[in-house]
């Protein structure tokens, strides 16, 4: 008999990760946009233009995009956790992109499974996590924040040394 929390821990192992594979649905049969409540912390990117603006924002701030679908069970299960992360990490921008409503953005980012989380910094995708694996997503975000912090401190050291050389 396994300890009480063993089943929950076992389900988080990478071999047990759950994700949905994107069906090949012709665009004519795509689902119409739905009016969903929008979170204060997680904005919905329902157009390619909104997606492009969010990526542009990543030049100033780490940006995480959750590529999701309404028909994807793991996506719906992980959504409240993603919302909680957005509330706890105010220095990071969090967005959702429904792959059926914003096919252009999903195709540009080569999304083949949901949920897929992509991290953007400096206008470029720097990391990707596939599946409902919040531990990996959290680690990827923390690593990216650490990299940004290291880059900022090394650039300030370079500018300080240039200032010292000028004297």
Which SS3 state, helix, strand or coil, does residue 69 take? coil
Contact 22, 97 (CB under 8 A): no
Catalytic residue among 20, 72, 97, 109: 72
Active-site residue 75, yes or no? Answer: yes
- Cα–Cα distances (Å) from 27 to 56, 81, 88, 90, in that order, read 27, 31, 37, 36
Alpha-carbon gap, residue 77 to 74, rounded angstroms: 5
Q: Any idea which residue has 């509330």 for tokens? A: 87
Active-site residue 125, yes or no? Answer: no
Q: Catalytic site residues?
A: 72, 75
């Amino acid at each position: 008999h396994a300890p009480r929390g063993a089943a929950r821990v076992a389900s988080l192992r990478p071999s047990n990760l759950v994700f949905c594979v994107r069906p090949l649905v012709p665009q004519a049969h795509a689902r119409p946009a739905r009016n969903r409540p929008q979170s204060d912390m997680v904005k919905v990117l329902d157009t390619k233009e909104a997606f492009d603006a969010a990526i542009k924002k990543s030049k100033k701030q780490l940006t995480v995009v959750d590529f999701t679908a309404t028909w994807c069970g793991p996506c719906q299960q992980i959504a409240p956790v993603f919302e909680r992360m957005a509330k706890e990490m105010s220095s990071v921008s969090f967005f959702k992109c429904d792959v059926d409503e914003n096919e252009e953005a999903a195709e540009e980012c080569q999304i083949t499974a949901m949920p897929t989380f992509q991290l953007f910094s400096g206008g470029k995708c720097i990391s990707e996590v596939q599946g409902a694996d919040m531990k990996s997503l959290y680690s990827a975000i923390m690593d990216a924040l650490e990299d940004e912090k290291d880059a900022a401190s090394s650039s300030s050291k370079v500018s300080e040394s240039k200032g010292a050389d000028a004297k």
